[in-house]
Amino acid sequence: MPSQEGAGDQNPSGGMPAASLHISGPVIRENQYVRMGAYHTLDIEPNRDVRIEKLEGWDSVARSRVEEAIVPGRGAEVAAVVCGEGTAAFCLLSQHMTIVPHRISMSIPRKAAAAGTSQHEKGLGKFYAQIFESFLRHIPYNAPSLRAIVIASPGWIRDAVFDYLSAEALKRGDKPLQKALKEKVLKVHISSAHVHSLVEVLKSPEVSHQLKEAKFAKEGIALDRFFKMLGSDENRAWYGPDHVRLASERGAIGTLLISDDLFRSSDPATRKKYVAMVEAVQSKGGEVIMFSSMHESGQQLNQLTGIAAILTFPLDVEVVEAEEKEEEEERKRREQAEADAES
């Protein structure tokens, strides 16, 4: 079987979930169908058996990823409409990723003495109508797997949007929509109308209570905990690969927050380093939360170097670094001494 790592070429049908995966590369072990050294492309598709081997075997992180991925229950679990005055982002959150299928951005005249308020209200009316249309098109409100529809905004726009949706559903006699709105909608307050407020949505009590089991909810809560810890006790919240490694060596990590981006590094040594770190933390009874960078919380962790840790006991970064340096010097001195002794 040809088994050379090749460039994974995603199906170009963007947006839609890819139904097949092209893998190409030169053949390194010949058989009767393919010649040695020939370039070959394989299509991996659903319902077709495939066996992928790695020279040194699969690491624990990769295996747990696969375990997670084969849990049944696909599709979006939560839909969210993040809106402000004149802007709305429709988001679909599933286990491993957030997609934003649609955005609305229109300028609504603000209230002004010269122009009166009628332009403002007309603009708002148009905006709500557009939200309604996009809602029908982009939110699979009928899907049974969809557990909640979150309408989030600062101010009271979420109430106005919800009222408009309900009124319009009633007017059109759209029973399924009415039902979905009644049963699934949660209105959540956020502080700004940007998509990154999704993190706020996920940690709000209304939503986190509903989604306690969902992975992405856990990520949001963990990230929030890290930042809170950073505020209350700087010595128990560390970030950055070097610092976290030091903490890990001292067995201080209670919760490790790590982005899956780090495991996609093209350098196998880097990948192995992080795998080893995850395993070390797990073996000491620490919790490891792997963030998906396809979620907003994962993006934020990526900004924060992609790795962070909440420690079980306070450690001063500077003290640890000083110790480390001393040790290093000590080691050098000893090596020097040995070298001297030998010569």
Partner 1 sequence: MAALSAANSRAGTPSGTPAKKKGSAGGKVSGTATPSKQRGMDQQQLDISGLNLNSEPAAVIVEEPPPKLSFAREALLQEAKRAIEVSDRTGKKGVSIIVIGHVDAGKSTLMGRLLYDLGRLDEKTKRANERGSTNAGKSSFSWAWGLDGTLEERERGITMDIAMQSLTTPHRQITVLDAPGHKDFIPNMISGASQADCALLVIDSAVGEFESGFERGGQTREHLLLVRSLGVSQVIVAVNKLDQVEWSKARYDEIVGLIKPFLLQSGFHSSKTSFVPVGAYEGVNLLSLSDGTELKAWYSGPTLVDLLDKLEPPARDVDSPLRIPIANVFKGQGQGAAVSGRILSGVVQVGEKLRVLPGDESGIVKSIEVEEENVSWAAAGSNVNIQLTSIDPVNLIVGSVLCPPTDLVPLATSFVARVIVFDIQVPITAGSSIEVYHHSRDVPATTTKLLATLDRSNGKVIKANPRVVAKGASAELQLTLRSTAVSGAQSVVRGIPMEPFSANKDMGRILIRRGGETIAAGIVLEITR
Closer to partner 1 by Cβ: residue 34 or 230: 230
Closer to partner 1 by Cβ: residue 52 or 113: 113
Distance CA 164, CA 81 (A): 14
Closest separation between CB of residue 179 and partner 1, Å? 28
Closest separation between CB of residue 129 and partner 1, Å? 17
**Within 70-143, where are the H helices?**
118-138
Q: How many CA atoms lie within 13 A of 224 on its CB side?
A: 17
Residue 5 has phi, psi (to 5 degrees) of -60, 130
Distance CA 243, CA 322 (A): 12
Closest separation between CB of residue 130 and partner 1, Å? 14
**Within 173-295, where are the H helices?**
175-184, 198-203, 205-210, 215-232, 241-249, 268-283
First-to-last CA distance in the chain? Answer: 53
Closer to partner 1 by Cβ: residue 283 or 303: 303
Closer to partner 1 by Cβ: residue 120 or 147: 120
Closest separation between CB of residue 259 and partner 1, Å? 11
Closer to partner 1 by Cβ: residue 32 or 191: 191
Which stretches does DSSP call E strand in the chain? 8-10, 21-26, 39-44, 78-84, 87-93, 98-105, 148-153, 185-189, 237-239, 253-259, 287-291, 307-311
Closer to partner 1 by Cβ: residue 248 or 292: 292
Closest separation between CB of residue 61 and partner 1, Å? 21
Closer to partner 1 by Cβ: residue 93 or 180: 93
Distances (CA, A) of 78 to 125, 145, 185: 26, 9, 10
Distance CA 206, CA 190 (A): 12
Distance CA 107, CA 105 (A): 7
Closest separation between CB of residue 262 and partner 1, Å? 14
Closer to partner 1 by Cβ: residue 52 or 114: 114
- Cα angle 265, 270, 273 (rounded to 5 degrees) comes to 135
User: Do 15 and 97 contact (CB within 8 A), yes or no?
Assistant: no
Closest separation between CB of residue 95 and partner 1, Å? 13
Closest separation between CB of residue 119 and partner 1, Å? 5
Q: Which residues bind partner 1 (CB under 8 A)?
A: 14, 89, 91, 97-100, 107, 109-117, 119-121, 154-156, 160, 189-192, 194-196, 198-200, 227-228, 230-231, 234, 239, 294-296, 299-300, 302-305, 317
Distance CA 67, CA 263 (A): 16
Residue 259 has phi, psi (to 5 degrees) of -90, 140
